[in-house]
Chains A and B, each alone.
Chain A
Amino acid sequence: MEQVKCECGHVNPIGTVLCEACGKPLEEVPALLDMRYEGSARRSQTYNKTIIDKIWNFFSSVKVGVWLIVITLVASAIGTIYPQQMYIPPTVSPAEYYEQQYGLLGKWYYALGFHDLYSSWWYMLLIALIGVSLVICSLDRVVPLYRALNNQRVTRNEQFLQRQRLFSRAKVKHDETAFRNVVDKLTKRGYRVREENGNILAEKGRFSRWGPYVNHIGLIIFLIGAMLRFVPGMYVDESMWIREGEIKEIPGTNGKYFLENKKFIFEVYEKEKEKEAFQAAIDRVGSGMMAKNYQTDVVLYERVGPVVAGEEPKLKKIKSFSIRVNEPLKHDHYALYQVDFKLDELKSMSFHFTDKETNKSFGTITVDLIQPEKEYDLGNGYKVQLLSYFPDFYFDENGNPNTRSKVPNNPAFVFKMFAPDRPKGEVSFTAIRQTIEPLGNNKYKMAFANIETRNVSALTVRRDFTLWILGVGGAIFMIGLIQGMYWNHRRVWIRRMNDEVLVAAHTNKNWFGLKKELEGIFKDTPFVMPIDQADKRS
């Protein structure tokens, strides 16, 4: 490796600005030294031979890192202009939706992947490049900085001292008691004092210099955690709708677990039911206006035996539980969270088999809206056949009755009614508040009698093995932040040269605090308090 030898004898890596040992400037420098990275050689800026070096050097630049962050910020901001894909109606194709709603801009928004920003390849690439920049920038700075701080000598070059921001030079007679006094005061304030030929280097809080790098390590761990979510099995995020009384497979568990919804409960704060203390608050928002509880009472089952999808499962009860908001059901690293609900979904409808003229009823049928029967026999020659069933009825563009979904939002039926005097049957199309008799006038009708409803609960299924990694990363991030924020790296040099004494001091932040500290230390001593040369200049 090419090297630069300082006149003090220390051998520095090429590109070094200030000698690691004595601090003597090895290049042209401004009158006040730039003490960032201790004037150490950022190697990336000195070697530029191979393609690997070139890539490395590109990412080693803080400027590049800042630009990457700025670009990411701008992209994120643009991503908030139109709704993200998850917020557009699920029934429409996003390709059409964005263009229809927002025109040409919307089309490009979709084409460039802004509609699903966090999953678009270029956004992920940006985040990844920030990660690369973090690693390389840190490595390229922390190693030379460590070397420089580790190699620094007590006796520093005159040039180094007089170009520090805080500096004084004065003729001071040697006074051992005064000297000891200063050393004592420095020690009392937490400085580690090193002496060499009557010169002093007092230093404290060096570990705060590592704060940013610890912080970056935390960020990298966090990014690795986020990356692991894409490894199969590490992260499950599914959702399920389950009606009261239903037993359903829990998605994301590979057919292993089933859930039964016993009951969904929705409660509100009501005036009469709460304690006196809450009355005023309830009055303010209105009685019954504020939700109090969303709860699903469930039973968790495990499937016994081999999993064959579709087969009627043999189930073993594991536990009963009441899932409430922020109180998930947890089992086998899975967690089921209450996330949504639908009150009073239609469950069944009852009809009277009625003579239109006399209004006489010949019996009542109850049609289950999830799995209706094909035939309902009322006895005495009266029976009803269900020819067609449309759970979510509408007339399609050809004018035919059709269904929008399998959810019984608007059920409609084609009944065929048989009676002793109508052995061939009469056909009736029956929907809510609508009856059509397509084959002429009927004698009988299916008169609406009653409905039964039930609630539906929506749950989120989560399993996340990356959470602890994100936690560790976050904790290290905070430790690094605190380390760099709440401590300062302060150094005081005192050098005796012939009959003069040079005093210089440096801190990486909070110059005001350092000055106050030094005033206390040099008060009532023959040493001259260093002057802030940055002040003098302005």
Chain B
Amino acid sequence: MKEKRFWLRTVILAIMLAAIGYTIYSNVFVEKKAIQVGDSAPDFVLTDLNGNKIQLSDYRGKGVFLNFWGTWCKPCEKEMPHINSQYNVYKNEGVEVIAVNVGEAKVTVQTFVDRFQLTFPVVIDQQDQVMNAYDINPLPTTFLIDKDGKIVDIITGTMTEEDVKKYMERIKP
């Protein structure tokens, strides 16, 4: 009888502990995002400012530094030149940059690109489709995608040039 009671209580407590643990863990310690580190990056197709189609899946075998930004976002503006200069170093080592603008007018984006003389492809997510797929909330958000299309890390907030370098190093194939 005593044995039985002990095990019954243990089982009931364990079940409740598991349920509570899961709830709190999935709520507090996991970002409530549709997309997470370790997932494979959702494929997308967008057109860059020169009219070329950029498809993520074409970049398999290379590391992709996927940056979401807007011209009005000051932190984005700060990190863009860093990304640009590091891109010039790492493009020869198999790291590509795709900068996804969050659906602004082409003229506005073009002005920005000209101002900072960005050399990597800048695409515009006109219908918010890619933003929805990547569940973008704050800007800027950067996804580090490795050569197999897996998301290695998700970075929100401004990056210093040092950070950009470090991140590009991580996805170097």
Contacts and interface: CB of A to CB of B under 8 A. Distances in A.
To the question of whether A and B form a pair in one complex, the answer is yes
Contact of A124 (B28, B71, B110, B126): B28
B1 A1 contact: yes
Interface in A203-234: 224, 227, 230-231
**Chain B binding surface SS class:** helix
A406 interface: yes
B24 A125 contact: yes
A52 B24 contact: no
B128 A374 contact: no
Interface size class of B (residues with CB under 8 A): 35 or more
B89 interface: no
B9 A124 contact: no
Interface string A353-391: 000000000000000011110100000000000111111
A47 B22 CA distance: 30
A313 B132 CA distance: 15
Nearest to A386: B107
A441 interface: no
A233 B125 CA distance: 25
Interface stretch (A172-180, A304-312, A337-345, A526-534): A304-312
**Chain A binding surface SS class:** mixed
A308 B108 contact: no
Interface string A152-185: 0000000000000000000000000000000000
Interface stretch (A100-108, A248-256, A446-454, A517-525): A248-256
Contacts of B127: 247-249, 310
Contacts of A388: 107-108, 111
Contacts, number: 125
Interface string A293-328: 000000000000000111101000000000000000
Interface string B12-48: 1100100110111011100000000000001111100
Name the residue among B19, B23, B55 with the largest chain A CB count within 10 angstroms.
B23
A55 interface: yes
Interface in B42-101: 42-46, 55, 70-72
Interface size class of A (residues with CB under 8 A): 35 or more
Nearest to A369: B105
Nearest to A306: B43
A392 interface: yes
Nearest to B42: A309
Interface of A: 1, 43, 47, 50, 52-53, 55-56, 119-121, 124-125, 128, 131-132, 135-136, 139, 224, 227, 230-231, 247-249, 251, 254-255, 308-311, 313, 369-372, 374, 386-392, 402-406
The 5 closest A-B CB pairs, nearest first, are A309-B44, A309-B133, A128-B20, A310-B44, A121-B28
18 contacts: A1-B2, A43-B5, A47-B2, A53-B6, A119-B28, A121-B24, A128-B23, A139-B12, A249-B132, A255-B129, A255-B133, A310-B125, A311-B45, A369-B105, A371-B106, A372-B105, A389-B105, A406-B108
Given A230-B22, A310-B127, A403-B71, 10 more contacts: A1-B2, A52-B13, A125-B24, A132-B16, A227-B19, A251-B128, A372-B107, A386-B107, A388-B107, A391-B104
